[in-house]
Structure 1
Amino acid sequence: MRWGAVLAGLTLVVSACAGPDSGSGPERTELRVAVLPTPDAAPLYIALQRSFFEEEGLTVKAEIVDDGTRAVPRLAAGELDLAIADYMTVFDLVDKGARLRVVADASQAGTGTAALMAQKDSGVTTIRELRGMKVAAPAGISTLLVEVTLKANGMEPDDVTMVRVPYPDHPRALSEGRADASNAWEPYVTAVEKAGGIKLADTVAGPTADFPVAGWVASDDWAAQHPRTMAAFQRALLKAQKLAAGDRRAVQDVLPTYTRIDAATAAAMVLPAYPITLDVKRVQRVADFMAEFGHLKARLDVAPLMAQQPPQLRAG
């Protein structure tokens, strides 16, 4: 018998079954992802530090961006594979025709995460005293939270004038009189308080309690063409989300490595929650409020935008 030929044949069969074309590994192993320098992205950096992506056969290169509204369009251009973005930005772009998929949930706001703040000596002590005044809030989900909070307190969004001020400038905007109040987001709630600010109202409470903030998104085409890569990313991120959800210290330690948040502030600030499932009903709340307050042309059903989830990521 020609054992050499038989062994060669067996080698070919094994190679064919185990090789890169077998359909078992990621279609793409190197990923470029856009990251906002905020606590929302902490699980990604935990996953990088602990080699969770490497265990899934992925090499993830994170690019820090200051504005999700500019990062998300780069997905369709093929410049990025995935990006973290607040849900309001994502749904606004979808409403304008963008074809996107939400790959995984990133963060959820809780009590103390965001608040309407004013200077202690401003004379403003309640939210209703803001009528006719200027409120500092970046465009996006911060503005939406202010609108919902005003309505919950018997006011209308046009009772105040929104001033577009980046979060890091909120303490100075208040002290210089460019704004009478600000919807500060952690760690800037803590920063405004340290600068002599007082809290008028928590903007993540009542109708906005446990409000979804941000998710990981990809283009519709990318998600369709890279299902195994997407699943590998989801599995690695899930490990980190679970760690972040149950171990505050893991988040504290990683924040100073990619944000301007120092260790002392990271230890004192209120952190977001890190969901371990992508819950359609929870995320739908964002789109429903956007439609109610005129940020969408019509009600948007977010269910078709949700990417397929591995079993352990599906909400029950």
Structure 2
Amino acid sequence: MTVERRHDPDARGFASDNYAGVHPEVLEAIALANGGHQISYGADVYTERLQKVIHGHFGPAARTFPVFNGTGANVVALQAMLGRWEAVVCADTAHIHVDECGAPEKVAGIKLLTVPTRDGKLSPELIDHQAWGFDDEHRATPKVVSIAQSTEVGTCYTPDEIRAICDHAHGLGMLVHLDGARLANAAATLGVSLREMTTEAGVDVLSYGGTKNGLLFGELVTVLNEAAVHGIPHIRKSAMQLGSKMRFLSVQFEALLGGDLWLRSAAHANAMAQRLYEAVRELPSLEIPRPVQANQVFAILPADATERLQKRFRFYTWNERVGEVRWMTSFDTTEADVDAFAVAIKEELTAG
């Protein structure tokens, strides 16, 4: 049977960076790793090489575990950091709380202690809203602070802000997990290395994202502090996140992180978000309520304009109550894509 192309390869939307295809350099790496036999379940030469690549970014003590997806990375990482009676402090907008269908609770039995934030970012003061009752046997014990970089609302922590959180958490006897689904975008925005925002800032365990940055599939649970975790190999297997043909997971990350592909792709996505922001920020009847710091643009516009615009381009409504939408750019978003979308936004805002 001949497989036919069933989509327009030139069509792009602004719904999610997960909509994008696979970066050509990553596809080449997958093809390179194909052929012949390699030991399964991570004992292959590509996974061995990935450990050295990770050392280059996060330090020689880092140890990484490839998994299939972001939810799996977060659940495996957090479960390895917690006792059964312990809990996670996170922002009320955190992906682990809002967008993982209760997986931390259902799969790992994790209690999430959420904190309202102004901009999606925690601070030592906000953490203290939930970091109490450590000796209260009637309350789940706060043990891990989980932050996202960049956050679900597109804001970025500075390395100093992350360091302040880590210092505060460690002073309370807690650990820090960083959900880095878009860590590369934050690094590109801030002009810092991956290590400056993680290892050097005091982060204990990192979920590093690849899918949103041009991979076919795959994320990494990366342990920066060995004393912070227990049983990851067993947890990964029991959570159904252990890939048998792991060489194809690992070689993608070698292509992404072995050179500057991670930074080139993230910087381009960020630049396209800034281009869109500049094109629409002064349009009447449109408000940009949040700073554009990564590859996300949030906007508030009339519901009828949103409805018409969504018939022309795919994107999601973020907060239906206030009419807020989210526009995402990716490694393959072009200037022409952005310009066409900006024209359509202007047309729909002035229609009727």
* TM-score, scaled relative to structure 2: 0.25
Return the structure number with greater relative CO, CA threshold 8 A, min gap 6.
1
The structure that is helix-richer by fraction is 1
* TM-score, scaled relative to structure 1: 0.27
